[in-house]
Structure 1
Amino acid sequence: MKIAAVQVTSGSDINNNLTIAQRAVREAAGEGARVVVLPEGMSQAFDSGRLDTQAEELDGPFATGLKELAQELDVVIVAGMFRPADTREIDGKKINRVSNTALVTGAGHHVGYDKIHTYDAFDYSESDTVRPGSDLVSVEVDGVKVGVTICYDIRYPEQYKDLARDGAEVIVVPTSWADGPGKLEQWRTLVSARALDSVSYVVAADQARPGGEEKGGQESGPTGVGHSIIAGPDGVRLAEAGYEPEIIYADIDPEKVRKARKALPILED
């Protein structure tokens, strides 16, 4: 099964972002990809305005547009979006929180995974505006079980092990990873480490770096460092993008996962 990680830069307008996503999915499908993974925040980039004003449910125009495309091309699409969640009061101000959701649509699926681990670190509090999820999500595509995570989840190996123990052989990670000193090195290490922890393929699709390679390594906020990665169950990076918009591909072989898990039965310990 061929899988693609799409690296693009989304913006503030949900309709334009849908067009960007559709164009990229068509390109990936044309190259034979069966599963196409787009970044976190595909419907609206972080740092581009209030997320609640464009948040939609899974039957809204953004998710429906991708659902129809998945049906047309006979592919499975994974894409980050935001859905209405709840209202909280913080410092006397009412905040309409959203769910940070990875839409999975195609091959009979149309579901959402809500990011469990919100990015509450380094003086940033995602949970102020995003309600954490609680449930693991996996889907089956052509006999291969695909688990779903989002961005900061990648720092929590237990989630990856739990998905693998539940049968996931591939774990996808829509991401909008902040740039800055050491952040790219951390990103590469974490993707390979989670592949090793779960003895699974990990497909991590990040937002392209705004400003490209020229801005690489500088503080960026949660708007992407690029370098989308597909890692094998041995932790080896099979494909890696640069800073700019790009699509990377890899062939998924479930037999390699089974052999690796037999040789290294850490999920049974």
Structure 2
Amino acid sequence: MRIGIVQLTSGGDIVDNLALARDQIREAASRGATLIVLPEAASHAFGAGRLDSQAQELDGLYATGLRELARELGVTVVAGMFRPADTVEREGRAFHRVYNTALVTGPDVHLGYDKIHTFDAFDYRESDTVKPGSELVTFEVDGVTVGVATCYDIRFPVQFQDLARRGAQVIVVPTSWMDGPEKLYQWRTLTAARALDSTSWIVAAGQARPGGQEQAGQSSGPTGIGHSCVVGPTGRREAEAGYEPEIIVMDLDMDEVTKARKTLPVL
């Protein structure tokens, strides 16, 4: 399987973000990728306005735009977006929450995974504006079962093990990671750990760092740190981006999963 990772910086306008995504998906597809993964919040960046203002269902402009492109190119695309969820009252205020959804779309699939673990950590409360999901999601590409997780899910090994037990050999992780002290170290450690926990390929697509290398290491909200990566089923980092926008294209060998699960039967 040839995968593509699109590391980009989305903004606050869903139409502009769709155009950016389409251009980058075309580039990855032109290099032979059949599974192309974009970051969390690819439709609307965190910190760029209220998430509910541009939340759409899977039949909305953003999701259908990517579906049409994926069908045209004969590829499967995973991209972060937001869908309307509910309204909750907290401390006298009404919050119109959304689902943090990883869209999965292609010639034979069009569905969403709703992020299960909301990012309530490091003085940030994603659950104020995002309703947690509850269902694991897998899908098929080129005869390979692929599981889905999103960003903060990477800290919860059971989710990755459960996806592997459902047959996932590859787990894609759209992400918009927070920068700051030790955050890059944690990201690298966690992606390797989840590959080992599940003896699966981890394909993690992150938002590029706003401000790029010049802002690297400074504390920020969950707007991106770059460093999208591919980690093999034995925990070895096979590819990694930097802080800037970038596309990674790489072939994944499923025999590596078979070997890892035979020699390291943690499941």
Give the structure-2-normalised TM-score: 0.99
Structure 1 runs of 4+ with >6 Å offset:
none
Identify unmatched segments of 5+ residues in structure 1.
Answer: none
CA distance in 2, matches of 1:189, 1:256: 20
Contact residue 107 and residue 141 of structure 1 kept, 8 A: no
3-state SS, counterpart of residue 178 of structure 1 = coil
The amino acid that maps onto 1:98 is V
Please tell me whether residue 146 in structure 1 is matched to residue 146 in structure 2: yes
CA distance in 1, matches of 2:234, 2:135: 27
The amino acid that maps onto 2:196 is L
CA distance in 2, matches of 1:210, 1:121: 21
Note the C-alpha offset of 1:249.
Answer: 2.0
3-state SS, counterpart of residue 52 of structure 1 = helix
Q: Deviations over 1:27-77 (max 9, x none)?
A: 000000000000000000000010001000000000000000000000000
Please tell me whether residue 47 in structure 1 is matched to residue 47 in structure 2: yes
The amino acid that maps onto 1:182 is E
CA distance in 2, matches of 1:123, 1:205: 24
Note the C-alpha offset of 1:256.
Answer: 1.2
> Which residue does the alignment assign to 2:209?
209
CA distance in 2, matches of 1:135, 1:29: 29
CA distance in 2, matches of 1:195, 1:178: 21
Please tell me whether residue 218 in structure 1 is matched to residue 181 in structure 2: no
3-state SS, counterpart of residue 250 of structure 1 = strand
Note the C-alpha offset of 1:199.
Answer: 0.2
Contact residue 238 and residue 250 of structure 1 kept, 8 A: no
The amino acid that maps onto 1:192 is A
3-state SS, counterpart of residue 79 of structure 2 = strand
CA distance in 1, matches of 2:64, 2:170: 25
> Which residue does the alignment assign to 2:137?
137
3-state SS, counterpart of residue 127 of structure 1 = helix
CA distance in 2, matches of 1:216, 1:245: 14
The amino acid that maps onto 1:15 is V
Give the structure-1-normalised TM-score: 0.98
The amino acid that maps onto 1:33 is A
3-state SS, counterpart of residue 186 of structure 1 = helix
- Summarize the alignment of residues 86-165 of structure 1 with structure 2, pairs less than 5 Å apart: 86-165=86-165
Note the C-alpha offset of 1:90.
Answer: 1.0
Please tell me whether residue 38 in structure 1 is matched to residue 42 in structure 2: no
Q: Deviations over 1:130-179 (max 9, x none)?
A: 00000000001111000000000000000000000110000000000000
CA distance in 2, matches of 1:250, 1:169: 15
CA distance in 2, matches of 1:55, 1:68: 19
CA distance in 1, matches of 2:249, 2:156: 25
The amino acid that maps onto 1:249 is V
3-state SS, counterpart of residue 102 of structure 2 = strand
Contact residue 239 and residue 249 of structure 1 kept, 8 A: no
The amino acid that maps onto 1:85 is A
> Which residue does the alignment assign to 1:78?
78
Question: Aligned pairs, how many?
Answer: 267
Note the C-alpha offset of 1:21.
Answer: 0.4
Please tell me whether residue 20 in structure 1 is matched to residue 27 in structure 2: no
CA distance in 1, matches of 2:216, 2:93: 36
Contact residue 37 and residue 172 of structure 1 kept, 8 A: yes
> Which residue does the alignment assign to 1:185?
185
Contact residue 204 and residue 229 of structure 1 kept, 8 A: yes
The amino acid that maps onto 1:81 is M
For the aligned residue pairs, the C-alpha RMSD in angstroms reads 0.6
CA distance in 2, matches of 1:107, 1:236: 32
CA distance in 2, matches of 1:44, 1:166: 31
CA distance in 2, matches of 1:220, 1:97: 22
CA distance in 1, matches of 2:210, 2:196: 30
CA distance in 1, matches of 2:106, 2:198: 25
The amino acid that maps onto 1:11 is G
> Which residue does the alignment assign to 2:200?
200
3-state SS, counterpart of residue 97 of structure 1 = strand
CA distance in 2, matches of 1:122, 1:238: 29
> Which residue does the alignment assign to 1:168?
168
Identity %: 67
